[in-house]
Amino acid sequence: MDREGFKEALLQVMERKEHWAWPGFTQGLVPRDRLHLHLEQEWAVYVRDFPVLVGWAYVQCPIASVRRDLAENLYEEETGGLVAGRPHPELFLEYPRGLGFDLRRFDSVELAPAAARYRAVLDDATQRRGWAPAAAVTTIFLEGTKYDRGELEEAPKRPAPPLSEHPLVKHYGLPLEHLALTKAHRQVEGSHRQDAWGIMLDHVEAGDRPGVVAAMEAALEAWQAYRDEVAAACGLVRGPAGRPERA
């Protein structure tokens, strides 16, 4: 697999990182009394432990320049010391805090079955496949979106509408001051995307590329099943036209 084929394979995985139910979340179709289920599963399946997942890539990597990029990402996620001022997992909890949810629920979240399988895939990719799959699944798959092609080519980039249009603000009344994580992500997103793609395309050896793509495909498949499960828990079903509807 040459460099261009590797890039295209990764981009095609990312372009499939979309889910039929997501418009239901962005359009306010999820009943308020079920929204916490989505936030709790996201927290436990990867948000809380994201710095640790990046850390697994860091400790396995033999390339000093790559370790430095991963270390910078890890430091910001774990401490917020470069941009956000607070750890990113801690900022995530501002969403349920601002919505008036009981934060004690986040102390002992039980992963639903598909969420547990998804987390197992993430753990396998980050702990048992080597540094390159670990870096790909964390910095490309988890942090990236279907708009990642726009970071590398002339293609649409991830939309950044005004914070007042954020779904949690628009449909659920979240005060703007609780969007600290969204603001932090927008500040670091460009550099993080460039660093992540530079690591993959400039430092992963040809023989390791198929394994990286396989890890990304496995993450995508598990993520789709996980999102199906979350949608059902939040009261969404797939309508006749493929659009989300309330159950």
Q: Is the pLDDT of residue 190 over 70?
A: no
For the chain, the domains span 3-233
48: nearest Cα among 122, 131, 125 = 122
Confidence at 188, pLDDT banded by 50, 70, 90: confident
Distance in angstroms (rounded) separating the CA atoms of residues 50 and 89: 8
Residue 209's pLDDT is 98
Q: CA 82, 197, 81: angle at the middle one, nearest 5? A: 10
Q: Considering the entire predicted model, what is its pTM?
A: 0.96
> What count of other Cβ atoms lies within 10 Å of the Cβ of residue 160?
11
Confidence at 27, pLDDT banded by 50, 70, 90: very high
Q: Is the pLDDT of residue 136 over 90?
A: yes
35: nearest Cα among 115, 101, 117 = 101
Confidence at 16, pLDDT banded by 50, 70, 90: very high
| Percent of all residues in the chain with a pLDDT value above 90, rounded to a whole number | 94
When pLDDT is averaged across residues 191-216 and rounded to a whole number, the result is 95
Q: Is the pLDDT of residue 191 over 80?
A: no
Kindly indicate whether the domain formed by 3-233 is annotated with CATH number 3.20.20.140: no
